[in-house]
Structure 1
């Protein structure tokens, strides 16, 4: 029966599809399709074919200002978006100033399109040719276009143009673009445009500090130089000199003196021979390495300098741009006496705190003290937002840099949550995402709670929000999932590590009964017990047994702990640190003991080349290296100085 209905179903489906198609054609019948006649021009511009573009425009000159796509884009929009500079120059030469200001369906001019597609050179080329002037951009109906231009310049990191615009039209600081965003908000969304958004390794930080960008050159031509310390000839310290002495006993007997001299000569000859061979090997290795690695190293250094120069230029420009905006905000506040979200500053401060841009927050906060007490998202002040997003640097600067500790810590938000409740909340935070391991994240959360608990009074500690929860109850409720993940993380590492430690215990214990060379059947002493390396072997094996046994016990303690909240603060991490440290040391001593055993058994017969020792060490080195990363993070998080009380440089003076 189903088979008999199938032709009817197919016929119905085809009929329905045909009706939908006819309806779609009827709906689109009234759409302007005049752009279709410029399809050849679109293809020529999109492909960068200058000859075909010229031929088409020579035949139809009016096409240069016509929309050639269904989105209302002109040929100039397409040329800018595709980055064909030679096409752009040709089109500009055929267009009037008014034509350059034509907007597409999204309200974008060719200049704004260049910024959206990050065509910085084309944007700088088009900007002087546009009809923008001071009288236009200060008008209310034109400020939206000016804000669009400024925001796109900031978002595309074309801060040369942004600085030029903000110098000429400072009132654009308060303007909103087509998306309702202010230039301050656009700048606050660029975390990497400020030094706090970039963490450099020590050698890159040194190069970064050596690059000098003169403030007057920002936005035009920038000169850089590497600053090396000026060392005057009078202040130069003399190179260190090393004096080596060989103490020879005063031998009265001539024969003894000759024997000593002979021994010294033989030892010196051996040392010189080894020294010469080592020097030759090193020299040959350096020559080969220099021929191969020097160009690569120089190229890497030059590339790093170029990148760091561009980074520092961006940082200086963003700070200068922020300074101009803050001056305009201060002026507007003095004139109007109103603070309520001037130029979207409240939204910008909230976003800057979330992104951890301390320079931005501190600069705006110094513009006027009212910004510190102002209520931002959900009626929370700056200090509360810094705690909510776990931004320790911003918290330290605000708390220690302004004399408003008691005022800022006593606020409550719209839900009666105080600053200690903020620690109990879990928001998306850039700082929390940088911490690897759920246990370390839980430890950092507890450190935050202890910190804020120390700076508030007892009334705030016991106060409840609208849900009837105290800060501690809210913390426990919201961090239960994190505590469980931390428990699984700790138990997983401890379980795998205890197996390795137990294996080392077994090996070191067994070695005692199977020592190298065996035992003397008469005396029962080991055959090689008089050799110094054998004694070293016994000592190292004993140390490895002690260390691995300690590691097993510590990991066993970790597995049997109750895993309460307070345990994550120090107890668990200290046990893990001790367990990891003893495990790695036991591996190291076991490997050295193995080398000593080989030397004892082989004696002067070197059947195994020296490179074999290196190959044997690779697995152990790899194991220690992988485990050391976890150990380093634990030590840094547990034993380092209080991360909230470090002495940090202020972003602005």
Structure 2
């Protein structure tokens, strides 16, 4: 074999080193890198030399790839094109995990990296083999199950959820305890359910809630939002409606009512008026609460004129009526009876208290 291991989705970095070494030794690297370009005259001796080298380099690359990678380049007739395409395909597949970011654990860094890649691509067979202990079993207390593979990605479950791999999530959840799927740490400040809410993965959210219903009440450390508010903020209507149906409503008004206000305001913004009506029927004071961004419901409504008939497109007679309506200038407004205005505001606030 030219290389110790054929190219797969997971080993491009190592494969590239061995492949480059071989091509350099055979005098073919300049062909692959395009330094020795294809001559224009097909009858020249230079063209014949290039064609032979290109064929050798392409052959070496083709026989050094596993079937899935081979299928993506087998119709290419240029070694450079094949090489560049493999590099493009493999961008992002090499985990950005560095040793300085790894949890201090006895498990080798290379195993964290491999586990991250397997989970990211939804490869259950490889994920399980990496999680298996010496007896071929996966324990819920395994250090790899709960290890933070990368601070910005979290555990193997976080990686699988973020990538939207439902089947992999189901299998991982089956081998985990309820506590382990909802734990957040300083280096991983968001729960798996909040990630599913952020990505709009309703089916994954159902799996996680079934395992631990209390994860519905766990806020993230970034905005302090529970999953249903996160889903609504991200505009995922199906996920929002599912999470709203299973979330204990009183959770939304705990503390400063920020979660409830965020849910309400974003439900208005994304026209989920069924949720808006239900929320306000239970908690009318949410209408004057501030969401995570400091917005109130009145401000949200003011920014959506098309939500009201008068804010839409007018017919001819409607334009005529509005053209005849009186318009106040700044002097008129400043002369209004502020005592009456303050009295009206007090009445409004008293209604919600």
TM-score, normalised relative to structure 1: 0.29
Bigger fraction of residues in helix: 1
TM-score, normalised relative to structure 2: 0.48
